Amino acid sequence: MYLHSFIRKQRLKANIYECWDFFSNPENLSLITPPEMNFAILTELPKEIYPGLIIQYKVSPLLSIPMNWVTEITQVNKPVFFIDEQRFGPYKFWHHQHIFKEIDGGIEMTDIVHYRIPFGIIGNALGSWLVKRQLNKIFDYRTQKMSDIFK
């Protein structure tokens, strides 16, 4: 079993509560997801996340293939971090930490994703470069959108 990790940091000109308000509202995820992923939330959502919240999406993360994705918000420590984990979806394992830290002039936002690709050795050999490339593309888009939102 091989567990991959992906880490992305971004500095934003905002205070921690502004960032928390944006990221803790699950409806905002569609604003920072690349349009070509055809992202759609299928469940009714509250205005703020809470531990145990289940969110169902339809998304095309790889090769424009539509998939159902179900995540659970497993931990929330307002306004410092929250964690979402995939319950059903394209990955064998998905654990995503969203961390917010106050710094001079704003906040530093850190995303830490641990994931496992399905289909064993073949999936790992063929898919690891493709998934890493796609994650970079998604987070590049998110970085640009967040810079536009928090000017």
The CATH number given to whatever domain includes residue 91 is 3.30.530.20
Task: Read off the tokens for 19.
Answer: 């960032």
Q: How confident is the model at residue 17 (pLDDT cuts 50, 70, 90)?
A: very high
Domain that holds residue 71: 4-149
pLDDT at 40 over 90: yes
Q: Please determine, for residue 74, whether its predicted confidence score (pLDDT) is greater than 90.
A: yes
What gap in Å lies between CA 38 and CA 27, rounded to an integer? 14
C-beta of residue 112 within 8 angstroms of C-beta of residue 126: no
Q: How confident is the model at residue 70 (pLDDT cuts 50, 70, 90)?
A: very high
Q: Are 94 and 87 in contact (CB under 8 A)?
A: no
pLDDT beyond 80 at 85: yes
CA–CA separation, 11 and 18 (whole Å)? 13
The arithmetic mean of pLDDT across residues 45-73, rounded, is 91
Report whether pLDDT(126) > 80: no
Bridge partners of 54? 72
Averaged confidence pLDDT in the chain: 92
**Rounded-to-integer distance, Cα 20 and Cα 11, Å:** 14
The confidence score (pLDDT) of residue 2 equals: 83
Q: What domain count does the chain have?
A: 1
pLDDT digits (tens, 9 = 90+) for 86-124: 999 989 999 999 999 999 999 999 999 999 988 787 777
